[in-house]
Structure 1
Amino acid sequence: MDLLEYQVKEWFGQMGIPVLPSQRIDHPTDLKRLKIRYPIVLKSQVHAVERAKVGGVRIVETTIDAIAAAQNIFNLPIWGELPEVLLAESKYDAKEEFYLAVVLDTALCRPVLLGCKDPDLDGDSAEEKMQHVVVDQEFSPFYARRLALKMGLQGELIQSVSDVVEKMYQLFIQKDLDLVEIHPLAINTAGQIMALNGQVRVNERAINRHPEIAKMANKMVGRSHFANGNGSLDKLDHLEQDGQIAILGNGTGSVLTMLDLVTYAGGQISTALNLRHSFLTDTLPTTFGDRLAKSLKTLANDKNTQVILLNFLGTVPQASEALDIISKFLELDTTTQTNISRSNGNRIRYEEHFPRLVLRLAGSDFNSYKKHLATLKTAKDTLIIVENLDEAVTEAVRLAKLPAYRK
C-alpha cells in the first residue's frame, strides 16, 4: 500500500525529518483560510509519479490564483486518478537535491540504504549512480554515515544527511515498511536540508499489525459505496471514483491504459481493479479466478456500475477457468430476465440490476472462447466481444450513456 504525499509528510514530521509548512486542502475554498505564507506550491495528491508534467503541481502567488489553480487540479485526472485532497506547501529554493531511500531487499532479506547525489535518475543510469549500504547487523548510525560518505558528501552535510537516513530507518522498522523514499532531499544556500517529496510503501502482510495503518487502508480502498454493504471489493487492489464504468484488467499496465482511454473518450470510472494482484489485507491465498468471480458478483450488485469493461490480452492465468466464470456470470443475466414480475397488466420490470459487459479478448488463445461466448443467449447489448481495445472503450462509453436498467 502506497501512501499519498500528505500522509508521508505527516509521518516524516513525527519522526523529526524536516518538512515544509503545509496544509491539507479538501476543497478550493479551504485556501481562504490558508495558514502558510505565499508563494505556495499546490500539489495533486495522487499516486502518479509524473504529476508535475501534466499540471498536477502549480506555484501560486495569491489566494485568487490559488483557488483557480486548485479548481483545475481537483478536476485533472492523472493516470485515471482524480485527487480527493491537495497539499498546499511553502515554496522552497533548493541549491542541491539528493535521493535517499531505505528499501527491503527481498533477495537478501535485509534492509538496504540507498543514496545518490543526482535525483534525476533514469533506468539506464540509476544503477551506476546509486550508492548502497546493506544493513546486515543491528542498525547503528555507522550505516547512515557510511552511506553519506559513499555518496561523496562533505562537511556538515555528512552529519545532517546521516541524521535523516537514521530517522528514515527508524520509520521503516516501526511501521513495517517495504520502502521509505525521499525524492528529492533538498539543500538551500544556507545549508538547510528539506524533504520536498517522499514515498512510503507499507508491507501488505503487516497492515493488520498496526491499527492506525489498517484504518488508513480501509479508507483508501473502500472510501465509497463498496465499503458499506455491496460486497468485499475492499480486499482488492483497486481505485474508486463516481462513475458508471468498471474496469477489470490483468495487470497494472492494462488497468492504467484503460483508465486513460476511458477518461479521454468521455467516460467516467466507477471502479478499476487489477485482478493480477492478491488481496490487500487478506493473508489467505487466492487465484485470478477467485478475484474475477468476486469482482463480477460485487459489481453486479452495485447500482452505480452500468458497464463492466474487461481487458484480457492473452496472458490471463487459468484462461479457461476465467472464461467459464464469465459464462456463468452471463447466465445470471438470462435468469434475471426470466425472473420478472407483472403489475398493471403488461408492465415489466427487472428484479435485479445487471450491468452490461464489454469483453476485450486479444490473442489466438481466446479464439475458441470467443465462439463459445458468442453462443450464449443474453439481452441486447449485455455482452459485446471485441479484439481492439480502442473499440472496446468506445463501446463501453456508448453503453454507459444508454438508459440504465431499472433498479
Structure 2
Amino acid sequence: MRGMDLLEYQVKEWFGQIGIPVLPSQRIDHPTDLKRLKIPYPIVLKSQVSGGARLKVGGVRFVETTIDAIAAAQNIFNLPIMGELPEVLLAEAKYDAEQELYLAVVIDTAVCRPILLGCQEPDIDLDSYGDKMQHVVVEHEFSPFYARRLALKMGLQGKRMQTVSSVIEKMYYLLIEKDLDLVEINPLGINSQGEAMALNGSISVNERAISRHPDIALMATKMHNRYNGNGKNQDFKEWEGLELHGKIGIMGNGAGSVLTTMDLVTLAGGKPGFCLNLRHASPLDTSPTTFKTRLEKALSIMSADKSIQVILINLLGSIPQAIEIAEVITEFVHHYNSEHKLNGTRNGHKHKRDTNFPRLVVRLAGSDLDGAKKELTALKHESDMSIVMTENLDEAVSEAVRLTQPLVYKK
C-alpha cells in the first residue's frame, strides 16, 4: 500500500490531539447538518478534497447565517476540484489573524534527517521558495533548541518566537510519533495577542508506517475503499492518475489535461472513472516504455473493466511518433467490432453492449496530430462502431456523457 495524504479535518483532529491549537470545527456530511451546528456564526465552510486551490475555485465560503450556510454547502458538495467531489465539508469558526506564517517538518531523504522549515510568507511554493524559506536540520536528538533556532531565523522575537517554537516542537513530535513524511501548517495564524492557530494543514503518512499503526491502517483502508470502490483493476495502482468509480475513463498526455477533462465531465453531469496521465510510465516500472505501449496497455486494462462504458481520450500538443496513436486506436476499434459482431450473432442483441469494450471518444488537438486525425476520421467512416472524433474538448465531454446515459425508448 502506498503512503497517503490526510484530508484537512483529519489533520485538525491529529493537531488537536497533540496540542497544536486549532479552531472549533465540525464535520459536515450533509447540508442539513448545519441546522445542528454547534459553532457560532460567522463560520467558514471548506471542501474536503485532496486537491489544492480550493479558495480560488469556490471550495471555501464564509457565511453568517444558517440559510446561507446550507446554500453554500449544497454548492460546495457539487463542486469538483481537480476532478474530485467532496464527501465531507469542514465547518470552522472564523479567525482574524494579524500575521500568517508557513511551517513544516519534513523528512529529507537526501540527508536522512528531519528538517524544520519556516517562512513569514504563507502559501509559498516549496519548489521555488528561494531564500525566503528558513530551515534547520535536526542533526542529533531533538530538543526545543532546534525549534527556537528556526523561529529566530524567521525573524520572530518575544512571545511570538515562543509561541511559534512551541508549535514547531509539537509538529516534530507528531511526525516522529506517527512515522510521517510531512507535517505542514499553511498558514499558521498569529493574532494581535501573539496567540497561534493552525488555520490549515497537511499531513503525509509514510507508506511503511501504515502497517505499524493500527489506527492509521484503519484510516488507510477506509480512504482506499472510498477512492477505489470495490478494489477492482489493481493494474492501475502504480500509474500516475486517479482511480475513481464512474462510467467514463479518461486518458490524457499531461496532468493538466487529465484534471481539466475530469472537471468538465463532472460539471456536465458525468462520472469519471479511471483517469490516467499517459505522459509518464509507472514510477516502479523499470522496463522502457513508449507512448504507444502505454496507450495500448491503458486501453487493454480499461476495456476489461465492466463499469467503464466510455473511454475519453484527450491528447493535445506534441507526442512522439504521433501516427502510432491512430494505429493503436484502429486496432482497438477493429477488435471491438469483431467481438461485438460475434456476440450479436450469438444472441441476437445487436444494440446491447454485451462485450466489455467501451465506446471511444477521441479529442486530438495540435498540428502534430494531423496525421492521426486523418486516419481516425477515415476509420470512423468505415466502422459501424460509434467512435467520436473532435478537436473541441467541450464537444468530446458532452458526447462522452451522452453515451453513458440510459436509452429512452419512445412508445
In the alignment, what sits opposite 2:400?
Answer: 396
Instruction: Please show how residues 180-259 of structure 1 align to structure 2 within 5 Å.
Output: 180-204=183-207, 207-208=210-211, 210-223=213-226, 226-229=229-232, 232-233=235-236, 236-239=239-242, 243-259=246-262
In the alignment, what sits opposite 1:128?
Answer: 131
* Counterparts of 1:108 and 1:325, CA distance in 2: 45
Instruction: Please show how residues 264-279 of structure 1 align to structure 2 within 5 Å.
Output: 264=267, 267-275=270-278
Query: Do 2:105 and 2:114's aligned partners in 1 also have CA atoms closer than 8 Å?
Result: yes
Secondary structure, aligned partner of 2:171: helix
> Does residue 111 in structure 1 map to residue 114 in structure 2?
yes
Query: Do 1:336 and 1:351's aligned partners in 2 also have CA atoms closer than 8 Å?
Result: no
Query: Do 1:339 and 1:351's aligned partners in 2 also have CA atoms closer than 8 Å?
Result: no
In the alignment, what sits opposite 2:87?
Answer: 84
> Does residue 94 in structure 1 map to residue 77 in structure 2?
no
TM-score between the two structures when normalised by the length of structure 1: 0.81
Quote the offset at 1:102 in angstroms.
1.7
In the alignment, what sits opposite 1:165?
Answer: 168
Query: Do 2:123 and 2:187's aligned partners in 1 also have CA atoms closer than 8 Å?
Result: no
* Counterparts of 2:59 and 2:208, CA distance in 1: 32
* Counterparts of 2:155 and 2:267, CA distance in 1: 46
Quote the offset at 1:402 in angstroms.
7.5
Q: Which amino acid aligns with 2:35?
A: K
* Counterparts of 2:38 and 2:320, CA distance in 1: 52
Unaligned runs of at least 5 residues, structure 2: none
* Percent identity for Structure 1 against Structure 2: 62
Unaligned runs of at least 5 residues, structure 1: none
TM-score between the two structures when normalised by the length of structure 2: 0.80
Quote the offset at 1:284 in angstroms.
7.0
From 351, 355, 378, give the equivalent of 1:352: 355
Quote the offset at 1:121 in angstroms.
3.6
> Does residue 147 in structure 1 map to residue 124 in structure 2?
no
Quote the offset at 1:176 in angstroms.
3.7
Instruction: Describe the shift of the 1:61–1:253 C-alpha distance in structure 2 as closer, same or farther (beyond 3 A).
Output: same
* Counterparts of 1:364 and 1:209, CA distance in 2: 52
Q: Which amino acid aligns with 1:128?
A: D
* Counterparts of 2:226 and 2:190, CA distance in 1: 38
* Counterparts of 1:35 and 1:277, CA distance in 2: 47
> Does residue 308 in structure 1 map to residue 315 in structure 2?
no
Secondary structure, aligned partner of 2:38: coil
Secondary structure, aligned partner of 1:185: strand
* Counterparts of 1:333 and 1:171, CA distance in 2: 53
* Counterparts of 1:71 and 1:53, CA distance in 2: 18
> Does residue 67 in structure 1 map to residue 70 in structure 2?
yes
> Does residue 44 in structure 1 map to residue 43 in structure 2?
no
* Counterparts of 1:251 and 1:221, CA distance in 2: 24
* Counterparts of 2:217 and 2:286, CA distance in 1: 19
Query: Do 1:278 and 1:285's aligned partners in 2 also have CA atoms closer than 8 Å?
Result: no
Secondary structure, aligned partner of 1:305: coil
* Counterparts of 2:374 and 2:71, CA distance in 1: 53
Instruction: Describe the shift of the 1:171–1:372 C-alpha distance in structure 2 as closer, same or farther (beyond 3 A).
Output: farther
Secondary structure, aligned partner of 2:162: helix
From 383, 387, 403, give the equivalent of 2:387: 383
* Counterparts of 1:304 and 1:206, CA distance in 2: 33
In the alignment, what sits opposite 2:16?
Answer: 13
In the alignment, what sits opposite 1:2?
Answer: 5
Quote the offset at 1:196 in angstroms.
0.7
* Counterparts of 2:332 and 2:115, CA distance in 1: 46
Quote the offset at 1:394 in angstroms.
4.7
Query: Do 1:308 and 1:358's aligned partners in 2 also have CA atoms closer than 8 Å?
Result: yes
- The size of the alignment, in residue pairs, is 401
> Does residue 337 in structure 1 map to residue 340 in structure 2?
yes
Structure 1 residues 226-283: Cα deviation after superposition (integer angstroms, max 9, x where no partner): 4245655455554455643221234322212222343455544234233556769xx6
> Does residue 28 in structure 1 map to residue 26 in structure 2?
no
Instruction: Describe the shift of the 1:30–1:394 C-alpha distance in structure 2 as closer, same or farther (beyond 3 A).
Output: closer
Query: Do 1:182 and 1:198's aligned partners in 2 also have CA atoms closer than 8 Å?
Result: yes
Further displaced range: 164-173 or 320-329: 320-329
Secondary structure, aligned partner of 1:358: strand
Query: Do 1:182 and 1:196's aligned partners in 2 also have CA atoms closer than 8 Å?
Result: yes
Quote the offset at 1:318 in angstroms.
9.3
In the alignment, what sits opposite 2:180?
Answer: 177
* Counterparts of 2:333 and 2:213, CA distance in 1: 41
